[in-house]
Amino acid sequence: MATEIHERDYESQVRDAFPSLRRIEDDDLREKVVEAWVLGLERGGWQTIHDIPYAWNIHDVTNVEHVRGVTKIALKSAEVQRDFHGADPDIDVIVAACLLHDVGKCYEYVDHVDAELLDGTDREHYANEEIPHSISGYALAHEVGCPLDVQRAIPHFLGEVPTRTLEAELVKSANSASSNAITESAMGITLKEWVDKYSQTQN
């Protein structure tokens, strides 16, 4: 019974954190996005979705803020692609993939926050740094049954998936735009400089 209450709380947190869920027209896909986040939060043992930082060493910006920024940028870009270039990006796929592109941080960042922010983390099976968050996010999307087009638009950082669709490239570029803004604002460096400086620290 306690677990059920916990899960309902996570569900409310996810819906409140990501108002752009309403942009997903497919009801089933919208619920799968929520389900993936609930699973990630449950297994990571997070007390609230807002406790997950943007990066292991940038805690002034939350992962929720970043995900919302990526979604906004991607939707604006999709509008230009459609109205200016005549392309036809799938908005449901874009929004779902944007909202899920960093859900894997539920697993990856549990060792980089104060212990009081966590409760019951399953480190043995899920929460560790061995698998990059873009891949564990893909795995969560696969587990809950998201369509393939959404799944393959989630791995965004190192180009892990060989087949890149219009939607996948849009999510990747929106993530870079948001991340560059965050690293510049927080640390005065570009995303590439951040990666070059800290990738060895994490590997």
The answer to whether the CB of 165 falls within 8 A of the CB of 153 is: yes
Residue 67 — pLDDT band, cuts 50, 70, 90? very high
The answer to whether the CB of 152 falls within 8 A of the CB of 168 is: yes
Q: Kindly indicate whether the domain formed by 2-177 is annotated with CATH number 1.10.3210.
A: yes
- Half-sphere exposure of residue 26, counting CA atoms within 13 Å on the CB side? 15
> How does DSSP assign the chain, residue by residue?
-HHHHHHHHHHHHHHHH-GGGGG---HHHHHHHHHHHHHHHHHHTBS-GGGSEEETTEEEEEHHHHHHHHHHHHHHHHHHHHHTT-----HHHHHHHHHHTTTTHHHHTGGGS-GGGBSS--TTTT-SSSS-HHHHHHHHHHHHT--HHHHTTS--SS--SS---HHHHHHHHHHHHHHHHHHHHHHSS-HHHHHHHHHHHH-
Q: CA torsion 155→105→103→141, rounded to 10°? A: 60
pLDDT tens, residue by residue, 8-64: 599 999 999 999 999 999 999 999 999 999 999 999 999 999 999 999 999 999 999
Domain residue limits, the chain:
2-177
As a whole number, mean pLDDT of residues 98-109 equals 94
Residue 120: predicted pLDDT: 75
Residue 198: predicted pLDDT: 85
CA distance 70 to 173: 9
pLDDT tens, residue by residue, 153-167: 998 665 556 578 999
